Amino acid sequence: MIRVQQEDFDIGAEIARLRAGRTDIGAIVSFTGSVRDQSGEVTDMTLEHYPGMTEAELQRIEAEAQARWPLQASLIVHRYGALMPGDNIVLVVTASEHRDTAFDAAKFLMDYLKTGAPFWKRETGPGGARWVEASAHDEASAARWTKPKRAAE
Amino acid sequence: MRLLYFAWVKEKVGVAAEEIDPPAGVATIAELIDWLKARGPEFENAFARSEVIRAAIDKRHVRHDASIAAAREIAFFPPVTGG
């Protein structure tokens, strides 16, 4: 399941809802991304997104994870709008029988989200506002997941 | 077709969305960018480093060589920075 929202999320409540009534789940991994103040360089942040495409991309990324791993459940929640240092930005939860699947799928979801989901961060600090630049590290992390596929071709 | 701009591309062109009717010779995203750049200094500036601009057709990522023939909505934006 995916959700795009302005409101904060409660990690414990999200995981409780995901596993409610289920006795088949053996491993649950969650990742939470939050706003860093970067030693006072960031006083607030605005997250812009592309309504419609954001949801479509997150659904596509989640479907890709479910095709690659035997997941029993997954959840992506991503916020947009005005955020402050310490605020939650994104939550990814994966559930499976065994831990490796849940860990790998959670990392995959985050790596693909980072390079594919149409969000843009604008940070404000003492020196003014600036759009955050995409990182080569994120591109490399996402590209790693395509290597086994290429090798098989 | 409808054009959408996001993040600093939107700030530079000065509008969030517009309807356009490019001439028949404009067949790909790359050609559309070239056509847009000729519309004025704000477009010339926004698309100056066109290789960093990302595009989506009808809410799916596409490369600059993608055909725009069937496009209803085309978006231009910087590399994404969510998560």
ipTM: 0.95
Nearest residue in B to A80, CA atom: B82
Statement: residue A125 has pLDDT above 90: yes
User: How is residue B44 written in tokens?
Assistant: 């010339």
Average pLDDT of the segment spanning A20-44 = 96
Statement: residue A147 has pLDDT above 90: no
Statement: residue A129 has pLDDT above 70: yes
Q: Sorting pLDDT into bands at 50, 70 and 90, what band is A99?
A: very high
B60 contact residues in A (CB cutoff 8 A): 53, 56
Residue of A45, A120, A122 to mutate, interface with B, max B Cβ within 10 Å:
A120
Average pLDDT of the segment spanning A128-139 = 93
pLDDT of residue A31: 98
Please state, for a pLDDT cut of 90, what percent of chain A lies above it: 93
Distance CA A147, CA A153 (A): 10
Statement: residue B49 has pLDDT above 90: yes
Tell me if A50 sits within 8 A of A118, measured CB to CB.
yes
Beta-carbon contacts below 8 Å between A and B: 72
For residue A9, give Cα distances in angstroms to A12, A91, A92, A147, B19: 9, 8, 11, 34, 37
pLDDT of residue A151: 45
B77 contact residues in A (CB cutoff 8 A): 50, 118, 120
B83–A90 CB contact, under 8 Å: yes
Average pLDDT of the segment spanning A76-91 = 98
Phi, psi of B35 (to 5 degrees): -65, -45
pLDDT of residue A146: 86
Q: In this predicted structure, which of A46-50, A62-66, A93-97, A133-137 has the lowest mean pLDDT?
A: A133-137
Chain B: give the shortest CA distance to residue A91, in Å. Answer: 9
Which residues of chain B from 25 to 54 reach within 8 Å of chain A, CB to CB? none
For residue A37, give Cα distances in angstroms to A45, A54, A68, A89: 10, 25, 35, 13
